[in-house]
Structure 1
Amino acid sequence: MTRQRIELAEASPRAARLITALEDVLRREGLCDDRLRELARIRVAQLNGCAYFLALRSAEAIRLGERQERLNELAGWRDSRRFTDSERAALALAETMTKLPADGVPDDVYGAAENLLGPYNLANLIMAVSVANALDRMCLRQTSGGVDVLAGGRRLRFDRLIVCAGLGTDAVARMTGAPGDVRIVPFRGEYYALAGTARDLVRGLIYPVPDPRYPFLGVHLTRRIDGEVLVGPNAVMALALEGYSWRDVDPGDLRRILAWRGTRRLAVRHWRTGVREVLGSLSKGAFLSAARRYVPALTAGDLVRVEGGVRAQAVDRDGALLDDFSVDVQGRVALVRNAPSPAATSSLAIARHIVGLTSVSSF
């Protein structure tokens, strides 16, 4: 095969994104045993000769509790005694779907998988194997020579790639084939500024004692070098990744945010705090009440609404709000999934640590 082939992800980027999104959905839906799914996907990568996804899926299987000695024998699973009947049925189906004989999947292979796995697991397995084959054959992401990045119609090649994408972290993670166990949930931080002589009431920084349950500091007063005094921010879950106001609603973003199990667990655990933050967003009086705990002389007329921002808050599967760095290394790509503060993100020591994770020898 000598003819130069088109790059599918470059020629049809939207379709490529949809395939990676489908992979994410299947991972959330899951099989009764996630390790069985990964065994099938690893076998697919072996048959397709895709070293990148072979390494990625093997690492995911180990994370799920798979044993290395079983992975060592996976290519010869028929002659191994380490695999259950259900796993054998799944692997036989995955192999047949990948090789796909002219007459399709034989009835005995399909029937064995259906009997041992059941309709729900079988359906998820068939879709997971189909998507794995599509990703292997598209060569979407990494190669043995580096990482290709498509940007503005250009293809850029890097030896290593460090991704600090903020609100776009999940989208980039899907591009690498590693959605992971952390997702970004956007929280809007809203501010007021003190007007007129009220600025003279605050001569420095007035901060509350942090609540260890949350990475958000809460409403506080900050005097800037230009003399302006900011009051805020609160922390309201946004309705879009770039949800800078209540009017900014993206149904696609919202579906992905709410579909994440961690978001639902977070809501159940902290719904009272969430309601209080929403009230502070909708009611200037509630916001004022929070600020007056530190400066009782403030009045409603002293507060003027100014622009806010959106925090890319990392939330794990259990609904925990991460307050420390979270870095996920996938082959030649290091994904900085959570960076907790401006002071930390500007630290050269932390930069050296992250660079070190990518096996780059110097910085």
Structure 2
Amino acid sequence: MLLKTFRWTFVVTALGLAAGALYDGWTALGLVAILAVLEVSLSFDNAVINAGILKRLNVFWQKIFLTVGILIAVFGMRLLFPIVIVAVSARLTPSQAVHLALTDKARYQELVTDAHPSIAAFGGMFLLMIFLDFVFEDHETKWLGPVERLLAKLGRIDMLSVCIALAVLLVTSMTFAAHAHQHGGVHADKAQTVLVSGIAGLITYLVVGGLSGFFEDRLAARENESRAEQRPEGVGGGRSAVALAGKAAFFTFLYLEVLDASFSFDGVIGAFAITNDIILMALGLGIGAMYVRSLTVYLVRQGTLDDYVYLEHGAHYAIGALALILLVSIQYEINDIVTGLIGVTLICASFYSSVRHNRATAR
């Protein structure tokens, strides 16, 4: 199972390292390897969260996630996204942004850094909504019993997660964004940019997640109706159920892609601490993205989330930490090692709790 799931990832790793060596020698190969490790360490919680969503899809959409999805993740987020950010923020054409990235790497990195507050606000709000919606839901299995029971009671208040997210965004725009330094800008402009980007992240979460949930509910209702009427499979409502399944799967896939994009923001920005060469960044982060995707599918097919009941809880708490780190990073520079360690620590703690739970249940 392990070799079958990761075989293309190993192939891409070999090709990516070879491409780095051919591009700029052994130093480039080392940088590509470091970037790949950085991406995996920062995105392990991404794999756990994705697995919880991906297990609802059939094998066909899991393959789409590993093929079309990886193209979007590697070329869209790890290569094109920094170029688009520079093009928009500096009011350049995409070709001019590519030329700048290849000829004036210092200026290119500066422009990406200037765009960080808007990126952090968008990604931070999207991830914060995922965390809040999880902790305010009443789960049958609770990792931090008293805390999660209290949060589940508070979650009965309509739109509480949206209200809290907007309050956090407002405070962020009035504090971190207001004091952040921007080349050639003013504080009021920065606060407005953060506010608009954060609202865009919130709207994206609500629209994509809402559409996915809508079609999943329609599918469930249709299947219940079909069972109640005792219709044979493939007769009457069967065809509609298949069509709805396709729509539900598509929007769930779209939700996964936006989720992956939000997780990749810190990796893309953090990669500039290692190199500002967009070719090496795309190679290294692309390899890391392949491992995250394959790990997601492996967790689904092995049923790991069912065996280790608190793992998903730990990953969501890591998401909450990452969301706050992104918002704080609008003003303060936070080392990627700290970000990675927080996520890994929370997941390891939830894994250890799951193992203890399984042993106690067995006894």
More helix per residue? 2
Instruction: Find the structure with the greater CA-based Rg.
Output: 1
TM-score, length of structure 2 as denominator length: 0.23
Q: Select the structure with the greater relative contact order (CA < 8 A; seq sep ≥ 6).
A: 2
Q: Which has the higher strand share?
A: 1
TM-score by length of structure 1 reads 0.23
